[in-house]
Every structure is written in structure tokens, then in C-alpha cells.
Amino acid sequence: MEIFWYIVLMVMLTVYIILDGYDFGAGIVHLFFAKKDKDKKVITKSIGPFWDANEVWLIAAGGILFFAFPTLYAVAFSGFYLPLIMILWLLIFRAIGLELRGQIKNTIWEAIWDKAFGISSLLLALFFGVALGNVVRGVNLGMVSEGVAANEGHYFFLPLWNSTFSPQAEHLGVIDWFTLLLGVISVIILLIHGANWIIFKTNSSINEKLKKVVFRLNFVLLALVITSLSIWDRIEALPFHNFMDHPWLFIFPSIAIIGLLGLFKIKSFKKDGTGFIFSSLFLFGGLTTTVASIFPKVLPSTNDVVSSLTIYNSSTGEYGLSVGVYWFIIAIILVAIYMFVQYRVFSGKMDDNSYGEH
């Protein structure tokens, strides 16, 4: 049952990143590339009917985490308390930036909320990448110092950064040069993903420019992905051992490679939605590759004194996991119907959608 619920949790997080990821990317495009007011409005129209529904997947994933892996939930929400609060505030400012912009027809008012929306989207993309970096790198469970655990086994707390800014320090920070690298990769891929969504859902005047941006950024993304993989091999001993033991897992990095290579043909796609499919494939492949690499760990320990958290030592009891299956089936059917209806109703281009015209 632990594996089933772990798959459910990872699917929900992956769906969230793909769906809300294009919202973040659209916000970054809005911040840096949308100079005309009509283009800004078109961008917000493209995500208007979807962004709040997309965030439900994050809430659902949190619920699954609380129910199925309560130890991981407690450890993560205490250890990452400060960055989680920052993410919460960024989500709030991003939402009110979308909702309040159109309340008053004033240049200064609109500029303030445009910046709130764009900067919040940028920082959220960065922080989610940094969060993934922390999971990949691991944390100092038990707050071990000189071979002695200062706290109980599952406790840890991270400042935003430490004085060395190193991912191999004994006392780590949330942000170091390795996690920051993954944060930058996250910003770039979500910018690409958001640009592909805008191209797919609008006839914006900047669409041709966005295709050129995607093409150029794809070279940067490829270089950074290769760099991060080579660095990870130095930070973590045998990070890809699961792939050697189970060769079928190579299907996940293969999907990521297909998505990445496909984006190089962005200028020649005849259908506007093709680029979005390829960026979605890269996100899916990249996230599943990362998960497959650390499995069955869910939060690695960077010391040899305290064991890592796994799906087995952080899960709830067998009875609770079994009973939850019935409620999950009902919930996922309802969500599937809702998502189908929503994306069917708002299919096609969104240029004439009235979202934001309060």
C-alpha cells in the first residue's frame, strides 16, 4: 500500500507542476516580455479560468501527504517552515495580483499588481526548484554534529543559507549553490512551459517572439541539465544506482530527453499546442526521473547516524492506507470529471475570454 500511495502522491505533484507550472511561466513571461497592455491582458486571460483550479492539486497532494505519510509531513513542515511560509505569501500575492489589477483603472495601481503577479511567479518557480534540490541533496536529520545527533532522529531545521553556501556542509541551508542551480533550471523550464501555453491558448502579438525565446532558452536548459547531473554525481554517491538495478526505469529520462529535443523544433511546429506537449513531457520525465533516482527515500539524510526517511518508515498504518483507497477512488472520479468539463468549456484560444474585466 505504501507504494500505491507514493505513486498517487507523486502523480498529484507532477500534475500540479505541469498545470500550475504554466501559470508560473505565464507570470514570468508577463513580467519580462509583455510590454503592451493588450498583451498583458491576453496572458492573464489565458490562465484566468485555470490557475485557481490548478492549485487545488497542491492542496490535494498536501492532504495525501498528511494522510499517507504523516511523519514526512510533520518533518518537512517543521524543517522547511520558513521557506514554506514564504511560498504561502508568494501564492497569496500572485493571486491578489491577478484579482486586484482590474479593480481600479489607474496606471500606478495596475503596475503595482502586474509586478506582484510577475515577481511572485518568478520567485515561486525558483523556490519550487530549490525545494526539489533540497530533496535531492538531503538534509541533516537529527541535526548531527561531529557524529552526535543533537535532536531526535527525524528532526531538522534549515536556515535560508549557511556561511559556506555549500551543499556538502555539515549544517546545511535551504539555499546553496546546488539547490540554487536547480532553482534556476526550474525558472527556465517553467518560463518555456508558460510561453508554450501562451502560444497554445492565445493569438498574442508576442507569440513569434516567444518561439524564439523558447528556442534560445532550450540551449541554456540543456547545458544546465547536463551540469546539474554531473554535479549530482559528485555530491551523492551512486545517484543513479536504481537505473542500473532496474533498466526499465530508463523510460523516464527517455521521456525527458524527447521533450527537451522536441522543443528545439519550436519554430517549425504547425500546431500551436505541440510545444506545450513537449515541455510537459520534459517536466514529467524530469520529475519522475528524480523520484526514481532516490526511491524508496523521500527525504535523504546527509549523515550516517540517522537513517533517511523512506516510504516505509514515514507512512501511516496499513488499515488507514487501505480504507483511504475507497475515498480516493470517489475523489479522483469527481476531479477527473471537473477537469474534463473545465478544459472542454475553455478549449481553443482565450483572447476573447472576459476574465479580468471587472
Q: Tell me which H or E stretch contains 172.
A: none
Cβ partners under 8 Å of residue 59, min gap 6? none
Q: What amino acid occupies position 162?
A: N
Residue tagged 526539489 (cell numbers): 132
The tens place of each residue's pLDDT in the chain, 358 residues long, gives: 888 989 999 999 999 999 989 999 999 998 888 888 788 888 888 888 888 888 888 888 888 888 889 888 888 888 888 888 989 999 998 888 888 877 777 788 888 888 899 999 999 999 999 988 888 888 888 777 766 766 776 788 888 888 888 888 778 888 989 999 999 999 999 999 999 999 998 888 888 889 999 999 999 999 999 998 888 877 776 778 888 888 888 999 999 999 999 999 988 888 888 999 999 999 999 999 998 888 888 888 887 887 888 888 888 887 788 888 888 888 889 888 988 888 888 888 877 776 555 4
Instruction: State residue 358's pLDDT score.
Output: 43
Backbone angles phi, psi at 330, to 5 degrees: -65, -45
C-alpha cell at 118: 510577475
- Comparing CA positions, the residue from 120, 126, 264 lying closest to residue 185 is 126
Instruction: State residue 354's pLDDT score.
Output: 65
Instruction: State residue 347's pLDDT score.
Output: 81
Instruction: State residue 123's pLDDT score.
Output: 94
Backbone angles phi, psi at 145, to 5 degrees: -135, 125
Question: What is the distance, to the nearest Å, from the Cα of residue 110 to the centroid of all Cα atoms in its chain?
Answer: 28
- What is the pTM assigned to this prediction? 0.90
Residue tagged 543513479 (cell numbers): 240
Instruction: State residue 300's pLDDT score.
Output: 87
- Comparing CA positions, the residue from 57, 46, 61, 13 lying closest to residue 338 is 57
Instruction: State residue 180's pLDDT score.
Output: 92
